[in-house]
Amino acid sequence: MNAAADIELTVTEIQRFCMHDGPGVRTTVFLKGCPLRCAWCHNPETQSADRQLLFYGKKCIGCGACSVCPNGAHVFGENHLIDREKCTVCGRCAAVCPASALQISGYRMSVSRIADEAEKDRAFYGKDGGVTVSGGEPFFQPRGLIALLRECRKRGLGTAVDTCGYFDPSYLPDAVPLTDLFLFDIKDTDPDRHKKYTGADPGLITKNLYAADRLGARIRLRCILVNGVNTDEAHYARVAEIAASLHNCDGVDVLPYHAYAGTKATFLGLPDNGRKEWIPDDDTVERARLVMNGKA
Ligand code: SF4
Ligand code: SF4
């Protein structure tokens, strides 16, 4: 085995038969760690680069098996609570839970093991499908990402990278030739709103988008649509301008916010921050889709 294939990545999940993470049927590898803190994040378990314990309270049958915790972190009263200050994320409770109510998010996998998992679905990929590396932010683990892309390429598997765009640009020259398609997020084109809702200035993201374009990347833009935040015509028009200015842009996907994001935060012991008023209606989504794709 070569050294690059031995490099390990921290993975939250590998999902098979994905239809919305690039063309065709895809295996999506979710990596842990992200530099942004979007208020609407749909995958909050991928934000931290560290291992975390997820607790799906609705699945819990109250058997008490998780009392194996050496730190007494499981507290049984009217509700089953976890004292996260005490939890060292050792995983013992998750290993014995009969109801899959406890799960560790973040396990180390070598590049070759991840590629082996993807190979199992090779028969379904057809000419368009393949592996999508998502997150979190895939470039948060840059060496591992590039090694994984190289391994997939070596095995003849299609590759896509779903990125928030906020990463060290020095990795792009290696990544672009190994990536069939970039799914590149544009969260907001208003710099102040971008900073307010993601915690980051969009300058580096824009710089990386055009750097990838100059290196010949095929790009599909992905735009989260958050009702009352970025559902304005100026934003739609600016996204259309950006798409038209790229040399090899496949189009723009509009991704409507959904409040399940908030529920997912509760699995980490965080408050449910889902906001129903942020869910755009169908007409708003359709309008954004048309304008951003230059069809209105
Ligand atoms: S992961 Fe380990 S430390 Fe954390 S609650 Fe479970 S058994 Fe206790
Ligand atoms: S082991 Fe699982 S099902 Fe049993 S009490 Fe703990 S979390 Fe609930």
Residue 237's CATH number: 3.20.20.70
Q: Are residues 141 and 58 in the same domain?
A: no
- Work out which ligand 2 atom sits closest to the CA atom of 100: 2
Which of 61, 67, 78 has the most ligand 2 atoms within 8 A of CB, as the residue to mutate?
61
Residue 296, pLDDT score:
86
| Closest ligand (CA of 66) | 2
In the reported structure, the alpha carbon of residue 82 is separated from the centroid of ligand 1 by a whole-number distance in angstroms of 9
Ligand 1 shell residues, CB under 6 Å? 53, 69, 71, 73-74, 82, 87-93
The answer to whether residues 119 and 95 belong to one domain is no
215/68 same-domain check: no
Distance 88 CA to ligand 1 centre (A): 6
CA 92 – ligand 1 centroid, Å: 6
Structural element, H or E, at residue 119: helix 111-119
Give the ligand at the shortest distance from the Cα of 69. 1
Compute the distance from residue 66 Cα to the ligand 1 centre, in Å: 8
CATH of the domain at 84: 3.30.70.20
Q: Using the mean position of ligand 1's atoms as its centre, give its distance from the Cα of residue 111 in Å.
A: 28
In the numeric block, the tokens 């095929």 are attached to: 218
Q: Is the beta carbon of 81 within 6 A of some atom in ligand 2?
A: no
- Ligand with smallest separation from the Cα of 102: 2
CA angle 28, 270, 44 (to 5 degrees): 20
- Whether residue 280 contacts residue 227, with contact meaning beta carbons closer than 8 Å, is answered with yes
Query: Is 65 in the same domain as 170?
Result: no
Q: Strand runs (DSSP E) across 147-198, as ranges?
A: 159-163, 181-185
Q: Do 212 and 228 lie in a common domain?
A: yes
Domain range for 65? 52-104
Using the mean position of ligand 2's atoms as its centre, give its distance from the Cα of residue 12 in Å: 21
**Ligand whose nearest atom lies closest to the CA of 59:** 2
Hey, how many other C-beta atoms are within 10 angstroms of the C-beta on 270? 12
Q: Which of 141, 138, 108 is nearest to 8 (CA)?
A: 108
In this structure, are 179 and 69 located in the same domain? no
Looking at the structure of the chain, the number of domains it has is 2
Quote the CA–CA distance of 57 and 267 in Å, as a whole number. 8
| Pairwise CA distance, residues 284 & 14, whole Å | 32
pLDDT at 1: 53
> Is the same domain home to 197 and 265?
yes
Same domain, 229 and 262: yes
Q: Are 227 and 282 members of one domain?
A: yes
Does residue 79 sit in the same domain as residue 221? no
Last residue of a domain, one of 62, 80, 104: 104
Return the residue whose CA atom lies nearest to atom 4 of ligand 1. Answer: 87
116 Cβ partners below 8 Å, 6+ apart? none
pLDDT (tens digit, 9 = 90+) per residue, 109-131? 999 999 999 999 999 999 999 99
Of 45, 43, 74, 42, the C-alpha closest to 60 is 74
Answer yes or no: do 189 and 257 share one domain.
Answer: yes
Q: What is this structure's pTM?
A: 0.93
Contacts of 26 (CB under 8 A, 6+ apart): 17, 18, 19, 125, 129, 130, 131, 132, 158, 160
Distance from the CA of 135 to the center of ligand 2, in angstroms?
Answer: 28
Together in a domain, 34 and 71: no
Measuring from atom 2 of ligand 2, which residue has the nearest CA? 97
Q: Would you give per-residue pLDDT tens digits along the chain (296 residues)?
A: 568 889 999 999 999 999 999 999 999 999 999 999 999 998 899 999 999 999 999 999 999 999 999 999 999 988 899 999 999 999 999 999 999 999 999 999 999 999 999 999 999 999 999 999 999 999 999 999 999 999 999 999 999 999 999 999 999 999 999 999 999 999 999 999 999 999 999 999 999 999 999 999 999 999 999 999 999 999 999 999 999 999 999 999 999 999 887 888 999 999 888 999 999 999 999 999 999 999 98
Residue whose entry in the numeric block shows the structure tokens 């499981």: 74
